């Protein structure tokens, strides 16, 4: 990868032998490996037996979870907040595991729509809850820095499964609680 990055520097008109760029190929490689580390993760390992039997059927929400990802079209960052809820059906999940599930999918080349659905589906599969809701609000640098150059545009995506999709009151309760 370092040779590819060195060649990229040459292709954009830079001198990879310049003092400030000498270690850039190594730093970019380390950065990309971290930003795409989700390919080496899976939900089962992340949950690590943190699903617990519990007689709880009230909505569980974790909101404003920071997320960072790379757009698969331009490999530029997008970042924002994820809001996640589920309706337990005899099982609950350790709270720190929800942000970790988000990381599994956010640390890959992504589109926000797929990311939202992957998080919801993973939680549905793992917990078998009565419902799952995921809303992501993100700013895409591929829209802010280039192309249309709209710096204040926020993209909002949602995935509603089970009770959140079927019951408008449940969906509305979740949406009002994350605002």
Residues with catalytic roles: 71-74, 112, 140, 142
CA triplet 112, 95, 138: central angle to 5 degrees?
Answer: 20
CA triplet 20, 23, 27: central angle to 5 degrees?
Answer: 115
Q: How far is CA 137 from CA 19, 77, 103, 169, in A?
A: 39, 14, 15, 22
Hey, how many other C-beta atoms are within 10 angstroms of the C-beta on 164? 27
Nearest Cα residue to 160 out of 78, 86, 69: 86
């Amino acid at each position: 990868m370092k040779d590819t990055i060195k060649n990229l520097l040459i292709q954009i008109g830079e001198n990879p032998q310049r003092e400030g760029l000498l270690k850039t190929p190594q730093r970019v490689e380390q950065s990309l490996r971290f930003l795409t580390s989700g390919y080496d993760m899976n939900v089962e390992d992340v949950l690590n037996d943190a699903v617990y039997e519990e007689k709880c059927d009230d909505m569980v929400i974790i909101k404003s979870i920071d997320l960072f990802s790379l757009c698969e079209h331009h490999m530029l960052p997008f970042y924002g907040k994820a809001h996640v809820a589920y309706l337990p059906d005899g099982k609950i999940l350790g709270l720190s595991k929800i942000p970790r599930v988000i990381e599994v999918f956010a640390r890959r080349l992504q589109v926000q729509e797929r990311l939202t659905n992957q998080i919801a589906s993973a939680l549905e599969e793992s917990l078998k809850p009565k419902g799952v809701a995921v809303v992501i609000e993100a700013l895409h640098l591929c829209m802010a820095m280039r192309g249309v150059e709209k710096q204040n545009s926020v993209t909002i995506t949602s995935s509603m499964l089970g009770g959140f999709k079927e019951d408008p009151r449940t969906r509305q309760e979740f949406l009002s609680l994350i605002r």
